[in-house]
Amino acid sequence: MDYGLIQEIQSSHPTKQVMANLDYLNLNSVRNYPIKDGLGRVSDDGLFTIPNSLIVDLSLCATGNDSPDLYISRINCNSSSLLIEISANGIGVFGTFQTTLPLSDYNTDLSMNSGVAFPTSTGMITIGSADDLADLPSGDFTFSINNTELLMKVYGPGNTGISWMSFSDAKGNNAVLSGYIQMQGNSNIQFRNQSGVIYMDAGENLGLNKNCGAIPQPVRFINGISPDSNGNFTLIPQSCVTIDTAQYGLVISDSCGQPCLGCAAIDTLTTQVNGLESSILGIKNFTTTLQAAINQAAALLNYPCAC
């Protein structure tokens, strides 16, 4: 009799279902399940025998492989951790289950980490009890398929296809979608299937929006200068010039009061200033000579006379 069928409960009463599931797990703890009946469960070195109470339920799945020969290929255990490795005979590691010890409860469910050879694999394992590991040696133990081959019923092939879809945009919107996904074109977007490839075409008058209006004539030149390839035109202010924005325009202003004179006018002004400077120096020299003459005359007038 395949006692694994006990897991199928024909009752809608929640309490009865829980009790029946516990009976199923407890029954598995005293038999080879999920390893095939009659196999020894012994490591290659003969030092480690997998306790029946360790694994009480197991479910594995992968896409692209109908029926790989799966077996427990490795167990690493010590007082603080437990690792169980599942492999496909002749292919490679299917996945691993890992947990810390001691367990917080009996019948603990663990999720599988997929192996390199099966990147789409998934799995769940139920650790019934890790108590019997205390009586076994710690270390890293390998197993052969002749001692730990798994029952076929623990594996179910997955359907090949898209499992999920994610998207993001420049505005930071993102989402992950699964199950039935519908894509719908928005304004002026249409989908096109070509040899199994879906293209999203953008254009106008595709039935969702009216045609774009006429584009006004843009500014093509400023004083004979054309913009760059992107249509940008750069204004570079020199000293004492500021450029401010205004509605539909720019305001160019003088920021430091620089005189509005041409080079010729400035040259004439410079010559006049230089001439004025020379005249001032001449007046200064004359006043110095005049002061010396006044001082000399004063000395003569004040000279004592001895008649």
Q: How many CA atoms lie within 13 A of 106 on its CB side?
A: 10
Q: Structural domain of residue 149, as residue ranges?
A: 3-158
Question: What pLDDT score does 190 carry?
Answer: 80
Instruction: Say if 228 falls within a structural domain.
Output: no
Q: What is the pLDDT of residue 170?
A: 80
- Which amino acid would we find at residue 211? N
204 in any annotated domain: no
* pLDDT averaged per 10 residues in sequence order, the chain, 307 residues: 40 45 75 92 96 92 82 96 96 94 91 90 92 93 96 84 75 80 78 83 66 68 84 82 85 74 78 86 87 83 69
72 backbone φψ class: left, alpha, beta (φ>0; ψ -120 to 50): beta
In a domain, 184, yes or no: no
Beta bridge partners of 62: 157
Residue 131 lies in a domain: yes
Please tell me the total number of residues recorded for the chain in this structure. 307
Establish if 123 belongs to a structural domain: yes
Give the sign of the dihedral formed by CA 49, CA 52, CA 56, CA 60.
positive
pLDDT at 305: 66
Q: What is the pLDDT of residue 18?
A: 43
3-state secondary structure of 288: helix
HSE value, Cβ hemisphere, 13 Å, CA-based, for 57: 20
How many CA atoms are closer than 13 Å to the CA of 96, on its beta-carbon side? 13
Kindly provide the b/e burial profile for residues 24-39, where b requires at least 16 CB atoms within 10 angstroms of the residue's own CB: bbeebbeebbbbbeeb
Written as one letter, the residue type at 103 is: L
Residue closest to 153 by CA, chosen among 19, 55, 61: 61
Report yes or no on 193 lying in a domain.
Answer: no
pLDDT given for residue 258 in this prediction: 60
pTM for this model (two decimals): 0.50
Helices (H), 173-232: none
Nearest in space to 283 (alpha carbons), one of 271, 296, 275? 275
48 Rama class: left (phi>0) / alpha (psi -120 to 50) / beta: beta
Given this model, what pLDDT does residue 12 score?
Answer: 43
pLDDT at 137: 94
How far apart (Å, rounded) are the C-alpha atoms in residues 159 and 176? Answer: 20
Helix, strand and coil in the chain, % to nearest 5: 25, 30, 45
**Bridge partners of residue 42, in order along the sequence:** 49
Is 98 a domain residue? yes
Number of domains in the chain: 1
Helix H or strand E encompassing 203 = none
The verdict on residue 292 lying in a domain is: no
Q: Which residues, in sequence order, are bridge partners of residue 202?
A: 189
Question: Using CA atoms, how far apart are residues 36 and 34, in angstroms rounded to an integer?
Answer: 6
